[in-house]
Amino acid sequence: MPSERGEAAETRVKAALILATQQFAAHPALDDDEVEEFFFIESAPRFAKLPYHRHKIVLLVSAMRHTAARLEAEGRTVRRIALSDDLAFRAGLERLLTERRVTELTWMSDPNRPVDERIAAICAAHDVETDVLPDGLFLTPEDEVDTWFAEHPTPLMEDFYRWQRRRTGILMDGGKPAGRRWNFDADNRKPLPKKGVDIPALPSAEHDDITAAVIAEVDERYPDHPGAASEFWLPVTPEDARAWLEVFVAERLADFGRYEDAMKAGEPFLFHAVISPMLNIGLLTVDEVIAAVTRTDAPLASVEGFVRQVIGWREYMRGMYRAHPKLERVNALHLEKRIEKYWYSGKRMPSDLPVPVRTVLDRVHRWGYAHHIERLMVLGNWFLLQGYAPREVNAWFLALFVDAYDWVMVPNVMGMSQYADGGFVATKPYVSGGAYLQKMGSWWPSAQDAKDSVFTDAYWAFLERHEDVFAGNHRLTLALAQMRKRRDAAGS
């Protein structure tokens, strides 16, 4: 008769780890009949590594608890490390592996470096076999996106986007793009008219007992983090996320395209979908988002502009992150300014902070969100003009935005926004003075006020400071010529 120790050694226990950013309604581990238990880890110390916006913590923790509750209701066995356990991720996983005597762990591959390697190392240390499932957050399989980037040493987003359209058949008419144009971007750069445009409100999220408990816990545990958990506003289940998407398609998609670059002081969301917080943690999938948008009769320019963001820009950023790890460390312009405390706290902002920066910063502290043009042409623009260290800027975006994770922020901030790679992701720095901001957002009382603003002064000073670096960039030829003309006039 075998000993008790021998019986334990012969027993195989396979568990599935559901990571916080993978709250899929149909997680592939659910189809594995060998999985006996599902693990969820709410790592309180992890949420304290940066001063993360409290809405981001509520979103992740509440989504995990809702997924766990759904699995339990289905008769699945769930084991959780709760915030109140106060365990780091490693310690939490080690506790679960040891207490449950796990012999094999399965999880979905995480797009952020080096999450998979760390989980595998923990498993190896505990003699646990591993089974890594393909990443389901994206449309493009990892091997295909890696091959494309390997074959394109100087990758352009437009080339990648057209490859995606051809590969998937999305918005294609045979071998031709729908509407006989790949890109309707030229139609999608309109400012809001002063009158005559009604902007629908976002859906209101009603908090159940699970979310209410998370809100109270986060406000108590992280009182010094930005935001107020009590003002949390996002869906936390796949069902509610789909309903949110349906409202966007019905009420805002038609006008999304033409006004996607517009800004307005009193309107933080305009016609944007605001689905990235849910899409980036699996509450929505790319497939269902694209299906919802492309089956409508909304103007093609709006549909194409939205599709380009999802299967073009989003997947391009993920591919850049995978193919070019160097982006995490670049600093081509040698910028070293540190981020001041007010960027995190929202308190004691300088009196001379430009109106657009102050306004967008206020809404980021409230919502943990600003739409893509405000991120790029207000916040990112100002950070770059002022010479902030790019890694400091990246850390700030990671902490303050509810949809921000390494795979998307590193190439977006270090490359596109802060030009820290010297022009690899974006061929020119995305900087402007007050004129562009005034055109797209009417931030100042008049065009002359915008021209005379500190934003415009900072723009010309930036170009002069880095004139030698930008001298060979043909996309800046006109701007540099204007800068030299201004400098010569001032010196005469």
Does the pLDDT of residue 144 top 70, yes or no? yes
Write out the two tokens for 324: 């070019």
Domain annotation covers residue 222 = no
Domain annotation covers residue 223 = no
Does the pLDDT of residue 1 top 90, yes or no? no
Write out the two tokens for 113: 């470096």
Write out pLDDT tens, residues 347-360: 999 999 999 999 99
Domain annotation covers residue 332 = no
pLDDT for position 490 = 83
Task: Check if the beta carbon of residue 4 is closer than 8 Å to that of residue 44.
Answer: no
Question: Domain of 172: which CATH number?
Answer: 1.25.40.80
Residues 125 and 257 in one domain: no
Residues 277 and 424 in one domain: no
End position of a domain, from candidates 75, 99, 133: 133
Does the pLDDT of residue 5 top 50, yes or no? no
Residue appearing with tokens 């994206």:
138
pLDDT for position 2 = 45
End position of a domain, from candidates 133, 157, 174: 133
**Distance (Å, whole) CA 389 – CA 412:** 15
Taking alpha carbons only, the member of 300, 314, 297 closest to residue 145 is 314
Range of the domain at 348: 341-491
Residues 271 and 419 in one domain: no
Residues 55 and 182 in one domain: no
Query: How many structural domains does the chain have?
Result: 3
Residues 148 and 125 in one domain: no
Question: Domain of 115: which CATH number?
Answer: 3.40.50.620
pLDDT for position 242 = 98
Residues 446 and 400 in one domain: yes
Residues 256 and 388 in one domain: no
Write out pLDDT tens, residues 471-488: 989 999 999 999 999 999
Taking alpha carbons only, the member of 430, 425, 428 closest to residue 323 is 425
pLDDT for position 492 = 57
Write out the two tokens for 384: 């770059």
Exposed / middle / buried, residue 441 (Cβ in 10 Å: 0-12, 13-18, 19+): buried
**Distance (Å, whole) CA 222 – CA 50:** 11
**Full DSSP string of 261-278:** T---TT-SSTT----HHH
Write out pLDDT tens, residues 125-142: 999 999 999 999 999 999
Domain annotation covers residue 67 = yes
End position of a domain, from candidates 263, 294, 323: 323
Domain annotation covers residue 213 = no
**Distance (Å, whole) CA 308 – CA 306:** 5
Does the pLDDT of residue 26 top 90, yes or no? yes
Write out the two tokens for 465: 């400071």
pLDDT for position 6 = 47
pLDDT for position 195 = 85
Does the pLDDT of residue 4 top 60, yes or no? no
Residues 80 and 193 in one domain: no
Residues 367 and 244 in one domain: no
> What's the average model confidence in pLDDT over 153-161?
96
Residues 30 and 161 in one domain: no
pLDDT for position 189 = 85
Domain annotation covers residue 299 = yes
Domain annotation covers residue 331 = no
Question: Domain of 476: which CATH number?
Answer: 1.10.579.10
Residues 316 and 398 in one domain: no
State the pLDDT confidence band at 10, using cuts at 50, 70 and 90: low
Least confident span in 180-194, 249-263, 404-418: 180-194
Residues 191 and 295 in one domain: yes
Write out pLDDT tens, residues 189-204: 899 998 879 999 999 8
Task: Check if the beta carbon of residue 197 is closer than 8 Å to that of residue 255.
Answer: yes
Write out pLDDT tens, residues 70-116: 999 999 999 999 999 999 999 999 999 999 999 999 999 999 999 99
**Distance (Å, whole) CA 41 – CA 93:** 7
Q: What is the dihedral angle through the alpha carbons of 240, 242, 247, 253, rounded to the nearest 10 degrees?
A: 150
Does the pLDDT of residue 420 top 50, yes or no? yes
Write out pLDDT tens, residues 220-240: 999 999 999 999 999 999 999
Task: Check if the beta carbon of residue 288 is closer than 8 Å to that of residue 244.
Answer: no
Write out the two tokens for 139: 């449309």
> What's the average model confidence in pLDDT over 154-176?
96
Domain annotation covers residue 2 = no
